């Protein structure tokens, strides 16, 4: 079976993941949490340049996966929040993109 990082987003419909499914998928990621029908993580960086490099790289991934996060950006931090509007909550696409966001950190920081 492919890891989350190796997968690509697919169109999602139907019901959002159950709490148990979300919990099981969160175990595959580092420091992501479930909150209000989404998953989120705060990333910290050394400076604005590193923060924006991360944001721009994440924007490209979101574009290629056609799955876009909500971002809150500051000088040395970025909070990333994924949810899937078509299911009204959390889907596997959120975890796929979260894994890709985590992988970016080693290239930016």
Cα–Cα distance between 89 and 100 in angstroms, integer? 19
For the whole model, what pTM was predicted? 0.94
Q: In what order do the strands lie in the sheet with 77-82?
A: 33-35, 38-44, 77-82, 70-74
Does 43 have pLDDT greater than 80? Answer: yes
Instruction: Tell which CATH architecture fits domain 33-108.
Output: 2-Layer Sandwich (3.30)
Instruction: For residue range 6-22, list pLDDT tens digits in order.
Output: 889 999 888 999 999 99
Instruction: For residue range 69-109, list pLDDT tens digits in order.
Output: 999 999 999 999 999 999 999 999 999 999 999 999 877 65
Assigned token pair, 104: 């970016």
**3-class DSSP state for residue 57?**
helix
Q: Residue 64 burial (CB < 10 Å; 0-12/13-18/19+)?
A: exposed
């Amino acid at each position: 079976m492919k890891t989350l990082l190796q997968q690509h987003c697919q169109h999602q419909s139907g019901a959002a993941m159950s709490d148990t499914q979300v919990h099981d998928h969160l175990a595959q990621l580092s420091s992501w949490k479930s909150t209000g029908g989404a998953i989120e993580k705060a990333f910290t960086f050394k400076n604005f340049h590193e923060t924006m490099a991360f944001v721009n790289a994440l924007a490209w991934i979101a574009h290629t996966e056609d799955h876009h996060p909500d971002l809150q950006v500051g000088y040395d931090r970025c909070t990333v929040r994924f949810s899937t509007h078509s299911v009204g909550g959390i889907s596997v696409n959120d975890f796929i993109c979260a894994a890709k966001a985590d992988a970016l950190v080693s290239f930016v920081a």
